[in-house]
Structure 1
Amino acid sequence: MLLQSGPPIEPRLLGPAQIRDLAQRLGVRPTKTLGQNFVHDANTVRRIVADAGIGPDDVVLEVGPGLGSLTLALLTEARRVVTVEIDPVLADQLPRTIAEYAPDHAERVDVVTADAMTVTVADLPAAPTALVANLPYNVAVPVLLHLLAELPTLRTALVMVQMEVAERLAAGPGGRTYGIPSVKARYFGTVSRAGSVGRSVFWPVPKVESGLVRIERHPRVDRPSAERTTVFAVIDAAFGQRRKTLRAALAGWAGGPVEAERRLRAAGIDPTARGETLDIDDYLRLAAVEGSGPGPDHP
């Protein structure tokens, strides 16, 4: 008589004791250089996975899995989890942790030892549909923008970042915290806050609170990369001299203040406005205006 195997056993999650034990066994001391703060609270990782809205068809990209707290929780919902870890010691340990705490799900995890700042779609074993990650505080914005640019298959992103960064990413035009990260993130999709995370759920305990940011991607990502380069150049120029009017701030980009004003008026933008009053659609229109002067390559 053949015995039928039961359903897969759900992964066990890591708590404070397991996190510290793993770190001690590996001789791991979290470093500020790599922005390492490990989540040790099961309810927090469950909440992140629930808020991410991922399902059984999703391939999730996780950046900086660390000791595997969030990875284990992601396995309860996703079809596959692809992790990118820069620390070779942590990358080597992760498959062993998954085998111990989620043996029935071990084949659904891929570990890529690489720097998320340089990783491309060719480096990944599967095309991810969702990004869910506790991003290192010191490189959160450049990593997020790089991945959104490099991985057009990403439909959604839910990232945990420093609270100040979360506020900047989700800020709207005219606000005090609205700046380059806010506009560039909006190039890829709709950005919103998804709650806060207290310091006590991390080891070591950081000095700042954390926040969750959600990005729902829109069709704009299918446009050529040359457009993104031009749009981002306009955004950088507009905020590079934040106190100046756009006519003055964009003079270097356009090839002079007169040409900057012509382009602004052609895009339906007041030349006396400032960069923080414009939304991404304004920057898209401005970047699309054909120039009569030297343009963005002007020194």
Structure 2
Amino acid sequence: MTEPAHLLGAADIRALAEDLGVRPTKTLGQNFVIDGNTIRRIVAAAKLDPGETVLEVGPGLGSLTLGLLDAAARVVAIEIDPLLAGKLPETVARWRPDAVGRFELVLADALKVTSLSTPPSAVVANLPYNVAVPVVLHLLEHFPSLRHGLVMVQDEVADRLAAQPGSKIYGVPSVKAAWYGTMRKAGVIGTNVFWPAPRIHSGLVAFERREPPRTDASRAEVFAVIDAAFAQRRKTLRAALSGWAGGGPAAEAALVAAGVAPSARGETLAIADFVRIAEHRPAARPAGSGAPDSGGAETLG
């Protein structure tokens, strides 16, 4: 029976960090996975096709990278830390010498990357907690080639991304993610598989892309309605959308035309409802006006 390929454990990760003089920083959200079985679990849950090009964001010291190289045809890794990025090719060459030609490193902030030399069909990543939602939405916006993926995020964020209308945690991330496809919670990861160990559990979120809703409203226009609807959660939509519409009566008219009760609240609406509201924006307002498109940067309130 063939032994499974070596994956980086606690001793390997600490040795790599010591060699670089690296101490994980909260600023960059660095929590390195130190358990090979967890890597195998993540890769299995991602359901990768052997011919796929996988995008990894924040590879760090390469724990997940090696597992992805075992499962996919090519891995493109985006790393913001120059020190860590400089070590990654060496780590791949040491532990997966046959995969060197299948690994590409991009030194950049993932939130600023809008194109890659090889379009990825999947994303699998252990995302820094503080930028997880903006990164997910940014990638879905700028990489239409992404058909599916699996991201590990703060457990609370995972719940919010996968939340359905009517849930207390349903909000801006939930609705904007639904514009691009379906999100589902795919598991929970404990704290002891990381170095340093975070204070809270992590969650796995799997997604499948589908075509955005058919509409004559732009994504920015729909997202503007979403931002306005959740800006103050306790308000009715008539009140919450007053600024967007140019007044309460105009907001009520748009809601009625869209088939949405003015007394409803944003957390009860699905993405299709927000699309219809955007389509019935008051004619007196220029297209795209209203609340700015945050792209998901509005957090978890």
Is TM-score (shorter-chain normalized) higher than 0.5? yes
Structure 1 residues 154-169: aligned runs within 5 Å:
154-169=146-161
* Other-structure match for 2:246: 255
Measured in 2, the distance between the counterparts of 1:221 and 1:31 equals 40
Deviations, residues 65-109 of structure 1 (Å, cap 9, x unaligned):
000010000011111000000000111100000000000111100
One-letter identity of the residue aligned with 1:119: V
Of 223, 227, 230, the residue aligned with 1:236 is: 227
* Other-structure match for 1:118: 112
Of 249, 263, 266, the residue aligned with 2:257 is: 266
Alignment of 1:144 onto 2:136: yes
In 2, are the aligned partners of 1:135 and 1:160 still within 8 Å (CA)?
yes
Percent identity, aligned pairs only, is 60
* Other-structure match for 2:169: 177
* Other-structure match for 1:282: 273
Tell me: CA distance 1:115–1:207, structure 2 relative to 1, closer, same or farther (3 Å): same
Measured in 2, the distance between the counterparts of 1:280 and 1:157 equals 21
Structure 1 residues 189-268: aligned runs within 5 Å:
189-220=181-212, 227-268=218-259
In 2, are the aligned partners of 1:137 and 1:162 still within 8 Å (CA)?
yes
Q: CA deviation at 1:223?
A: 7.9
For 2:125, what is the secondary structure of its paired residue?
strand
Any stretches of 5+ residues in structure 1 without a counterpart? 1-8
Deviations, residues 272-293 of structure 1 (Å, cap 9, x unaligned):
0001000111111111225223
Measured in 1, the distance between the counterparts of 2:13 and 2:213 equals 38
In 1, are the aligned partners of 2:215 and 2:279 still within 8 Å (CA)?
no
Of 11, 14, 23, the residue aligned with 1:29 is: 23
* Other-structure match for 1:20: 14
Q: CA deviation at 1:12?
A: 2.3
TM-score relative to the length of structure 2? 0.92
Measured in 2, the distance between the counterparts of 1:223 and 1:116 equals 29
One-letter identity of the residue aligned with 2:160: R
Q: RMSD of the TM alignment (CA)?
A: 1.7
* Other-structure match for 2:126: 134
In 2, are the aligned partners of 1:195 and 1:211 still within 8 Å (CA)?
yes
Q: CA deviation at 1:262?
A: 1.1
In 2, are the aligned partners of 1:259 and 1:292 still within 8 Å (CA)?
no
Measured in 2, the distance between the counterparts of 1:140 and 1:276 equals 21
One-letter identity of the residue aligned with 1:198: G
One-letter identity of the residue aligned with 1:16: A
* Other-structure match for 1:3: none
Deviations, residues 189-242 of structure 1 (Å, cap 9, x unaligned):
001000000000000011110000011100118989x71101110000000021
* Other-structure match for 1:5: none
For 1:76, what is the secondary structure of its paired residue?
helix
One-letter identity of the residue aligned with 2:63: S
Measured in 2, the distance between the counterparts of 1:137 and 1:18 equals 24
TM-score relative to the length of structure 1? 0.93
One-letter identity of the residue aligned with 1:132: V
Any stretches of 5+ residues in structure 2 without a counterpart? 292-301
Deviations, residues 246-273 of structure 1 (Å, cap 9, x unaligned):
0110011111111111111111100100
* Other-structure match for 2:40: 46
Measured in 2, the distance between the counterparts of 1:85 and 1:298 equals 35
* Other-structure match for 1:4: none
For 2:146, what is the secondary structure of its paired residue?
coil
